[in-house]
Amino acid sequence: MKNFEPHHHVLSQLKNLISNLSVEELTKKSDLLYNASIGEHFRHIIEFYRCCLFFRKEDVVNYDLRPRDKTLENEPSAGINAINELLTQLQCLSHPEKIILNLQSECIVDAGGIATNLDRELAFCLDHCIHHQSIIKIGLKASQLDHLVDKNFGVAFSTQTYREKCAS
């Protein structure tokens, strides 16, 4: 896959975090996260990647219909295995021609869906991952666990670049 590195980076960050959290820390509900847990946000990220990579085989992507796997939010080893599987799938992708997908959702009124492609959906998954990493980071800070991630966890690559330019 072209430009696999950003996906590898954010997924590896998640894997490192999950490896350093106890089951209790992963599953603890937080008022700050509207009664969600870090594990629930982790599961959500993984499921979107899985959905994108699975549904592409059918030429349709529908994130609303993704299977929900509660073990991902409750069992760190399941999450680590899921990330390893995603990293392998991403490395094995080769699509010299554009794969056209049909994005469908409950909120899309057009019965035909929206034309998209695998590269676009993977870019969405990357941005979606970073967005939820920032939410996870809020939960970590509230639990005094933010030392488990670096300062750029949950920060968009463009924001990191901008901050570096401003600092110099």
What is the CATH classification number for the domain harbouring 31? 1.20.120
Query: Is residue 61 within a helix (H) or strand (E), and if so which, with residue range?
Result: strand 60-61
Q: List phi, psi (to 5°) of 70.
A: -65, -20
Instruction: Output the six-digit token pair for 150.
Output: 């670096």
User: Which segment of 65-74, 89-98, 119-128 scores lowest on mean pLDDT?
Assistant: 89-98
Rounded to an integer, the average pLDDT of 5-21 is 97
Question: Whose CA is closest to 156, among 133, 136, 138?
Answer: 133
Neighbouring CB atoms inside 10 A of 66's CB total: 18
Q: What's the pLDDT at 29?
A: 96
Domain of residue 86, residue span: 5-167
What pairing do the DSSP bridges indicate for beta strands 36-37 and 29-30? antiparallel
List all residues 6 or more positions away from 49 whose beta carbon is below 8 Å from its beta carbon: 11, 86, 125, 129
**Dihedral through CA 117, CA 123, CA 126, CA 132, nearest 10?**
-90
Residue 12 has pLDDT above 80, yes or no: yes
Query: Taking a C-beta distance cutoff of 8 angstroms, is the pair 66, 102 a contact?
Result: no
* Domain count for the chain: 1
How far is residue 156's CA from residue 84's CA, in Å, rounded to a whole number?
A: 22
Q: What percent of the chain clears pLDDT 70, i.e. is strictly above it? A: 90
User: Which segment of 23-27, 87-91, 144-148 scores lowest on mean pLDDT?
Assistant: 87-91
Q: What's the pLDDT at 106?
A: 75
Residue 90 has pLDDT above 80, yes or no: yes
Instruction: Output the six-digit token pair for 89.
Output: 């799938």
pLDDT tens digits along 113-139: 788 888 888 999 999 999 999 999 999
Question: Whose CA is closest to 29, among 20, 21, 19, 40?
Answer: 40
Highest mean pLDDT among 44-48, 89-93, 112-116: 44-48
Q: What's the pLDDT at 1?
A: 41
Mean pLDDT of the residues in the chain: 90
Q: What percent of the chain clears pLDDT 90, i.e. is strictly above it? A: 69
Q: What's the pLDDT at 105?
A: 80
